[in-house]
A = this chain, B = another copy of it.
Amino acid sequence: MAHADPARLDALFRPRSVAILGASDDATRISGRPVRYLIEGGFKGGIYPVNPNRETVQGLKAYKSLADCPEAPDVAIIAVPLALTEGAVRDCVARGVRGAVIFSAGYAEAGEEGLAIQSRITDIARAGGLRLLGPNCLGIFNPRIGFFGTFTQSLDREMPKPGELGIVSQSGAYGSHIAYLARRRGIGIGYWITTGNEADVDVSEAIEWMAGQDDVKVIMAYVEGVRNGPRFRAALERARANRKPVVMIKVGRSETGAKAASSHTASLAGSDAVYDALFQQTGVYRATTTEEQIDVAYACMRGIFPASNRLGVVTLSGGAGVLICDAAERHGLDVAPMPDDAQRKLKELLPFASVTNPVDTTAQALNDMSLLARNIEVILEEGGYDALIGFFTTVPNTRTLSAPLRKAIMDGCARFSDRLIVMAMIGDPEVVRDYEAAGFLVYEDADRAVVAIAALARFAQAFARPAAPAQVAATGQGSLPKGPVSEPDAKRILSGAGVPFLDERLATDAAAAGAAADAIGYPVVLKIVSAAIEHKTEIGGVMVGVADRAAVEAGFAELLRRAALHRPDAAIDGVLVAPMARGGVEVIAGVARDPVFGPVVMFGLGGVHVEVLRDVCFRLAPFGRDEAMAMISGIRGHALLEGVRGAAPSDVEALADLLVSLSRFAAAHGDDLESIDLNPVLVRPRGEGVVALDALLVTR
């Protein structure tokens, strides 16, 4: 599905005029709510309720039809029943409307008949240059201009305040839910869109559009599944390039969940592990819970992304300090100790304090707040921490201490405006607002604060990474053969792409096999070669440790006999003679094809590690060396490559090169390639490289 220029969403997000087709005078009805919200929101452009049966709608002049409206509205909200939608879409096209929002359900999500209607209206819209949002969605809003093209009842009690958060959600109810939570957390919303069935506008285009807006600082998204993987990837890459953190809920990780997701919308769920890989690569933060999603988005709004993962901790409670240390380690932050000299200074200030980090000032610091201020100053000045967390339990909520405590922390931080200062504290809403106004992030729970800090540090790393390599052109890599590929062909092709193999020779008679073995040196391995025989070991088609020329020649005959016995119809190319490879750690590398995202590179340790323990790591092709190194250290068993039980550390650099080569090859041949298996790959000690012992290449 080709998307139009993302700028074309401008009319949907920032319309100058809005018509409501089927507008109701009853402000509580689905078809009445958008009118009410537009009025209450103070929308400055034209509001044109279309209702052939009324003179006015909620106090506004009503129009008999779209054609009657004084101008072609930028957006038409189609709040008519399913049966009337197709006509309404035609009317929009005829009137030159730029975007339409369709609320009603009963389309692709409801079965074949609905899908047919959806296809028809989509075709009509596309042919007429009309952008469609929905159907089966809750609409869109932009509080900055008072545009509310939605019937979400979550606005009933209170309208959102404008701000710099963008929300993109495939689920209308979930999108409403997080918008409400964001508002309660004091986060203003710039743009909010729910995409429903995604007949035209989808989450990818919405994210891409928001990533290009100067007045969007953070993007929250809810995704069940996307249909166009590359487009989604490009949108997330654009957000990263523009330093817009994306805080994502992607549901369907569990089997039941994935099933429920596919019954809920018309989305194609794809493999969850591939989404994980994509989020890793594009620096998207995948939140597990709604609370975490809001917590992280809230933190991102502050706009400070710590350059390192070093965390300073200052508390009034030793116990909480320990708890925070545990949380920091769990989430990958480093509660590094203060330098000795700084510890001495702190000890002079507060003789009873623990001064290592966590710094426990004890309640003593509350008796002389200037000591606390100086304490914090020393920690920030000499500790080298890019983020500081202060745990002050309920003290900020005590009448006498709240303001002086806040001032002391502000004084301590005054010269360090680039540092992230986070308070873990309990306070009434107005107290929290005061602390926030002073520039601090505020969390009630220390662990949640730590999670958010870790997320910010992760964004800093993602923003600092170079852009992903561009798609690799297949030209220069040659094209893949059609049909089955024999092992020597697979190796030749992949060798050309940078995958190292052993010095192997194809022999077509026993004497040639013996000569090849003489040249290679004994012992050797013999393997039958036939494109028709994928799994050689199953027919006894591999002999290892063949020790001398006579054995090689006899082996040649025996392999041919076995092949003839088990697969009499297979065309045999000959026998491969290869050196015995020993030493090194066995790993598996490969490429699989995800139906949504295309070629995906896989890596894991050999044997039970991948097959039974599922200790495996994925990345979307293509990717660069940093990503390959992250992949290698991303498996649980990565310590096995660091040299255990006295073994030398493995050549992970060469392994990374192999993964990068695989990824470039896979990207170049994306459409023609079904899968690659390199199993095993031997990773030898550092400096000695890697070698793939077997290769299976399946084309499409």
- A residues with a Cβ closer than 8 A to B are 105, 153-154, 156-157, 169-174, 176-177, 180-181, 184, 222, 224, 249, 251-257, 259-261, 263-265, 288-291, 316-323, 325-330, 335, 352, 354, 356, 358, 360, 393-395, 397-398, 426, 444-448, 608, 611-613, 636-637, 639-640, 644-645
Contacts and interface: CB of A to CB of B under 8 A. Distances in A.
B356 A263 contact: yes
Given A264-B318, A360-B264, A398-B156, A105 B426 contact: no
A178 to B, nearest CB: 10
Contact of A608 (B171, B395, B640): B640
8 contacts: A156-B398, A169-B319, A224-B322, A261-B318, A263-B354, A264-B321, A289-B445, A291-B445
Contacts of A264: 318-319, 321-322, 354, 360
Looking at A169, A174, A358, A398, which has the most chain B CB atoms within 10 Å of its CB? Answer: A174
B328 A645 contact: no
A173 B257 contact: no
B257 A322 contact: yes
B257 A157 contact: no
A263 B355 CA distance: 10
Contacts of A321: 260, 264
A459 to B, nearest CB: 22
B644 A612 contact: yes
A263 B352 CA distance: 12
Contacts of A170: 319
A245 to B, nearest CB: 21
Contacts of A291: 444-445, 447-448
A158 to B, nearest CB: 10
Interface SS of A by simple majority: helix
B356 A325 contact: no
A180 B445 CA distance: 13
Contacts of A172: 317
A645 B608 CA distance: 9
Nearest to A290: B445
B323 A174 contact: yes
Given A154-B394, A328-B254, A329-B255, A354 B260 contact: yes
Contacts of A613: 636-637, 639-640
Given A261-B318, A261-B322, 15 more contacts: A157-B394, A173-B317, A177-B393, A177-B426, A180-B393, A255-B329, A256-B325, A256-B335, A259-B356, A260-B322, A260-B356, A265-B318, A290-B445, A291-B448, A613-B640
A257 B177 contact: no
Contacts of A255: 329
Nearest to A637: B613
A397 to B, nearest CB: 7
B325 A254 contact: yes
Contacts of A394: 153-154, 157, 176-177, 180
